[in-house]
Structure 1
């Protein structure tokens, strides 16, 4: 009897789960047979797809097994994530093609790059990418089934696809986020599935599984290449240059299913109209497949194809049809929605369905897709020929590290740049041949180049799903100029691509009076941090000076770091410094005397002893995971600084006296208790350094720690008159009141400690908020101010630009014994705004020099 009861319990449990799950074959067409020698996902995972959220290690293991068992599949490890997880790419085609895959790849790539005429016997190349957001897991789970279908499927349908085409399958674009979310969903799964949207299973804590290790949105990183996942993917993209690329996502549970095309008026102007027409042609097949399953869906709404840094849009800049799919998310295993109960298997099924319809639609439009790829290249040549601009001249003399990083991004996008044979004069400015490179427009990446150097400010449709500008030269604070046809005649360009520029590194001697390096290079903060880590005693110069060195008299700017031998230093100091100098590619000088040629002497009180900082980032629920992650990523990767991330709700129990600096990002701080707020105020007044950005800066102002005032929201609203508008114009009116991610110009006080290391007073910053910080009345408090006509590139309405004009961008002052620093913007935006991220280092290392009273 006991055995019967146990058996009955197991039966009821299985019956309950199976009510909302399927066998692996239930997801796939029943019209074809499957090779029994190829294991199904359940054979390896121990359960059918959809019963549990697959972990990344399980997913990779299944793909490895397929590659072992099927002669249609090879698997390549393309890189590793921040958490050391494998990034894998499957190449799937017929066994005959596998034996000749390198020749097929090279022949395809040659035609793509040259625009040579194609014929219908040429292969289509698919790049099937899944789940760039880790908490949108239906894509990665569907990838298991699509891989099985391609490995085991038998019959004319599969043969037609694989005999003369190549499928690249990227099963998880964000392994770290997928693993984080799978753990969350699985650990909260009940035996009796809970569909209540308020259940903990459906409510992730901070940070969500959407992001990668550093809490970045990887779907915004295709162009910026801040992370290893993106760099590995882009390398493979350019090795294959596919005809079709899919990008499988999820959206809110109460939605249905979306596939592109998106809103027609919101595509990037450099994307050909034929791209949209081919996307529509494939869309007919998605619609037919979803119709057959009686699924709800929509198109041409909400999403756009403007920003070239997204997964469905980056391909558009390369003659590839990028397609975004968005599935309503169960955010767990089962959830109540306005459309009824939505199960995890339901979400997976739709992603499987549209993966298969992508194959079917592309094969039906194969001739057009092949022709479009060739036409795209030839059109780029014609566009470049007819363009009044011949290219862009870039210059940076002092900061080789920052300039080289921009060049690396160009290289990874297959954009060529060349050295100059001699100095050039453009727009009354001389560009040194040694410090400049030229990026010609006459190359296959014409459209992408136009986009990343764009200064467009007006658009046919001013409503943007994401940012409206991503000008890399502005982001990196690199001087640049467009070169016209007439100016091109005065330019002498080398025939070979330019190399990375490196500084000449002097050999250090052991008999120095002191050693020193300038603060102008992007990696200078990292070198200073390494000195602290090695217990090397330093002084930081508050003002500029010139000193006698083994290379003659050298000028050192304010912020330069000096290592005096008069202080207690580690053994073999010169050897250690030489190693660090070589590693950072920053010249460290041997200083021969404490008596300087000009400016302060090395024993001056203005050579300050700045103790090693201990930095806290305030994170956790209530704060922006993106901004906190960006600050963490910058300090961890670019400065090498160990930082503590303290959850907001733990601040009251944390001994904050242990920290010298606090970084506060955008967030909602209204729920902090009075005692915690008082504790923070006491900490800063006793000597702490409080650093805020965006809405945190506004909160500092409300607490009167920051002695500056923000414009009232009612005043901002009054600048916009919508009285004469009709109901249909409400969305366009709302778009005028927001800043769609644009570049603005500020004037930076380079004599201020926060401006140390900067050479130019005009500094581009990124803005995506409409807060306006009024100019403080007290002198020496404003570090940077927006110019009279501040919009450089991207969309902001005339009304918003007028409100921002001449307002404050950065404010810093003393508060009793401490310091408060407020940024209106986010200096670390998406990890690529190198021109302003240095400001955060200055706010940490140079804060001791801020003495203006608020």
Structure 2
């Protein structure tokens, strides 16, 4: 530590000219506050800075200056800190708690205190391999804390600035390691050099390979949940969202292209007036340093779950920035070289310009936030809908996961009769719309992301609009929701309710203790410790006398499984049932513990791979072996009974294909998702076929404007819609569902023909399949309606489960997760006639 202090002291005495490239406009600076270059020992842009060093520098700023305070708001999956450097007047930093409470009251229309500071959130680096913004965050923090320039003094006087240097530390460090490892001396600007081309899964995503910029609405990961909990305490007036894009581009800032929705739920004042106002500031600042840029193209804010769109639904102004990336330290482009420092400077200038524009329009932003929430309280009155009635449909844990999202977004809901109701008359009315409303009409047909996101459909939550409400107890905590009663000891058998979302997790837990469980392939009625109960197909039975462990130990494990997963467990003293099959019936089939593997690596979708990994890791607590395709030839598949192939381009030769065929034929289960299902059909692993592919229409040809080609062709893509499918509830893949009509998510163009085998089409799109999102009439008639969503095909003594759609999309499709889990746990018993 002494050596480090001496080194910092020496660096403080050195004037580093490289720093002037960024900060010269904001002199003078406090001499006893180290610049990033002085602290790190290298100039910003010379190397990529690790997240721990970024946090250490911010800690140093908070230590040496009373203008800054470091606040933690969470930790990542890999344990890295998520922090804010809060910058403002020293007296305000001493009473953050009081200011936070006052700001919350003002946002909730419970206060009119105009003396409160403007709240600005400068947020950086949600995509880990878009690194320039975190380096800019270091410079911005230094400038806002150390500069005594009159403009910076004004910013500290008028605002509290929450600087979040790295939203995605796990992904950033994965990319940082890559870029620094391949950095050469001299620097290599060849776009084909390894430095500019990361290996799979690359650093864009978080630990589980999720795109965190899509997680603001879904709130699956700790990075997003920590930020959302902070957000709903402070309700910032302005939020930045810094990104990078292709190297050959320039720089993008808002305003965006027109929102695709026909009737956007965010106020027009937001996406027109405020965006245009701030856009003039950005243009002026970038003009002053000679940077080129563009606006109103490509990007849109239709999906409400971006870092730049979620604030727009909370009374703030979300601002997107996209910088052409050097993807390393320097890269050759058509306009010459683009350097890492150059990309950093554009982000730095835009960040400080955001603060300038906000401070100079502080009253406008405060008044806008007030008008936003006032309009939310009035918006519901334009329709007859007074709320949405929902129930748990017997699956308490799936409903609990949905309720968690309501609470995360501060959506009020209440107990109402046998269910719950979400009133529309509340400050979060626009989030209520986001959760429940569905759309079929749009003014634009090309989206940067999905066109459907009604969250209730993600969770397969039945709901209906109500014109009159019966509000009882408000639910403010998940502990208020009922849970299954604790199991009683049984000496004969236990039954686990398979309609509960956590049933598979409980099953795996008990199997890991060496217990043998069976699944009912027919429904029945039984006398239990809680009276006569009806049990559906899929119900899990644990026979006590057939285990190696004694009844006391078995009960202990059953109790532990209940405590972890809260699955309803019933105790039985007899195997004789009043109706349906008895417990010794051949229709109860013992289950082997899944031994699963997942093919990953170059050519496969890291998103879908991460979704499978995350589901098994965090909800089932079940290991899955991740097998790299590059090593497939020497992999021993006999260790596994289930293999998962997600979407991708599989360059497996005929020998590798035969290896998979032989393995499946020996009685194992292959699960394919999306384009992996197409691959299985194309390589003739199965006898199924695809709906005829798209062909150019050569009839009535007419000339179209070349400039509109991307828009015209783009509308035929299936970017993300919610469709209705009809599910065979008697099929093992349909066990656990109580209704045959289920919503599924479609974001690909994989169209599977219904099987020629009458028993193998497990789920097919209905004749009126549209639920939510943009879909052309041609796609609907020619591809959706004739196609299947889920098939099973026989291969020797095994089977292939083919998903046309992604049942695990973004970790949020609780409604279709069960289909995938059934394939894992029950696939061994699917016999295709």
TM range (shorter): over 0.9
Q: Are residue 494 (structure 1) and residue 472 (structure 2) matched?
A: yes
Equivalent residue, structure 1, for 2:692:
712
Distance 2:145 2:707 in 1: 51
Q: Are residue 281 (structure 1) and residue 277 (structure 2) matched?
A: yes
Secondary structure (helix, strand or coil) at the match of 2:301 reads coil
Q: Could you state the TM-score of these two structures normalised by the residue count of structure 1?
A: 0.93
Equivalent residue, structure 1, for 2:575:
594
Distance 2:569 2:259 in 1: 54
Q: Are residue 213 (structure 1) and residue 213 (structure 2) matched?
A: no
Task: Write out aligned runs for 1:638-653 (5 A).
Answer: 638-653=619-634
User: Which moved further from structure 2: 109-118 or 760-769?
Assistant: 109-118
Alpha-carbon contact 2:434-2:455 (below 8 Å) kept: no
Alpha-carbon contact 1:28-1:149 (below 8 Å) kept: yes
Distance 2:580 2:792 in 1: 26
User: Which moved further from structure 2: 511-520 or 774-783?
Assistant: 511-520
Distance 1:492 1:413 in 2: 22
User: Which moved further from structure 2: 569-578 or 680-689?
Assistant: 569-578
Q: 2:31 aligns with which of 23, 36, 58?
A: 36
Q: Residue deviations 1:657-687, cap 9 Å, x none?
A: 1111111111001x21111111111111111
- Shift in Å, 1:721: 7.4
Alpha-carbon contact 1:118-1:370 (below 8 Å) kept: no
Task: Mark the runs of 5 or more structure 1 residues left unpaired by the alignment.
Answer: 1-20, 421-432
- Shift in Å, 1:736: 2.9
Q: Residue deviations 1:11-30, cap 9 Å, x none?
A: xxxxxxxxxx9733431143
Q: 1:139 aligns with which of 133, 136, 143?
A: 133
CA RMSD of aligned residues (A): 1.7
- Shift in Å, 1:275: 0.9
Q: 2:167 aligns with which of 165, 168, 173?
A: 173
Q: Are residue 815 (structure 1) and residue 761 (structure 2) matched?
A: no
Equivalent residue, structure 2, for 1:749:
728
User: Which moved further from structure 2: 315-324 or 378-387?
Assistant: 378-387
User: Which moved further from structure 2: 332-341 or 387-396?
Assistant: 387-396
- Shift in Å, 1:641: 0.9
Matched pairs, number:
811
Q: Are residue 686 (structure 1) and residue 669 (structure 2) matched?
A: no
Equivalent residue, structure 2, for 1:389:
385
Distance 1:706 1:227 in 2: 37
Distance 1:631 1:137 in 2: 27
Alpha-carbon contact 2:678-2:690 (below 8 Å) kept: yes
Q: 1:52 aligns with which of 39, 47, 69?
A: 47
Distance 1:410 1:540 in 2: 34
Q: 2:742 aligns with which of 754, 758, 763?
A: 763
Secondary structure (helix, strand or coil) at the match of 2:545 reads coil
Equivalent residue, structure 1, for 2:557:
576
Distance 1:547 1:237 in 2: 49
Equivalent residue, structure 2, for 1:13:
none
Q: 2:768 aligns with which of 772, 781, 789?
A: 789
Q: Are residue 447 (structure 1) and residue 442 (structure 2) matched?
A: no
Q: Are residue 113 (structure 1) and residue 108 (structure 2) matched?
A: yes
Distance 2:504 2:224 in 1: 26
Task: Write out aligned runs for 1:359-508 (5 A).
Answer: 359-420=355-416, 433-434=417-418, 436-484=419-467, 488=468, 491-494=469-472, 496-497=474-475, 500=478, 501-508=481-488
Task: Write out aligned runs for 1:309-324 (5 A).
Answer: 309-324=305-320
Task: Write out aligned runs for 1:342-353 (5 A).
Answer: 342-353=338-349
Task: Write out aligned runs for 1:715-754 (5 A).
Answer: 715=695, 717-718=696-697, 723=702, 725-754=704-733
Equivalent residue, structure 2, for 1:190:
184
Equivalent residue, structure 2, for 1:551:
530
Secondary structure (helix, strand or coil) at the match of 1:846 reads helix
Q: Residue deviations 1:352-395, cap 9 Å, x none?
A: 01011111111222222121111111111221222222121112
Distance 2:21 2:156 in 1: 22
Task: Mark the runs of 5 or more structure 2 residues left unpaired by the alignment.
Answer: 1-15
Change (3 A) 1:262 1:101: same
Distance 1:822 1:180 in 2: 33
- Shift in Å, 1:351: 0.6
Alpha-carbon contact 2:393-2:462 (below 8 Å) kept: no
Q: Are residue 800 (structure 1) and residue 779 (structure 2) matched?
A: yes
Runs of 4+ that moved beyond 6 A: 719-722
Equivalent residue, structure 2, for 1:17:
none
Equivalent residue, structure 2, for 1:72:
67
Q: Could you state the TM-score of these two structures normalised by the residue count of structure 2?
A: 0.95
Change (3 A) 1:365 1:842: same
Equivalent residue, structure 2, for 1:15:
none
User: Which moved further from structure 2: 136-145 or 373-382?
Assistant: 373-382
Q: Are residue 536 (structure 1) and residue 515 (structure 2) matched?
A: yes
Equivalent residue, structure 1, for 2:119:
125
Task: Write out aligned runs for 1:73-112 (5 A).
Answer: 73-112=68-107
Secondary structure (helix, strand or coil) at the match of 2:25 reads coil
Distance 1:376 1:225 in 2: 23
Secondary structure (helix, strand or coil) at the match of 1:630 reads helix
Alpha-carbon contact 1:665-1:692 (below 8 Å) kept: yes
Alpha-carbon contact 1:538-1:562 (below 8 Å) kept: yes
- Shift in Å, 1:728: 4.3
Distance 1:443 1:380 in 2: 7
Task: Write out aligned runs for 1:247-258 (5 A).
Answer: 247-258=241-252
User: Which moved further from structure 2: 566-575 or 831-840?
Assistant: 566-575
User: Which moved further from structure 2: 636-645 or 357-366?
Assistant: 357-366
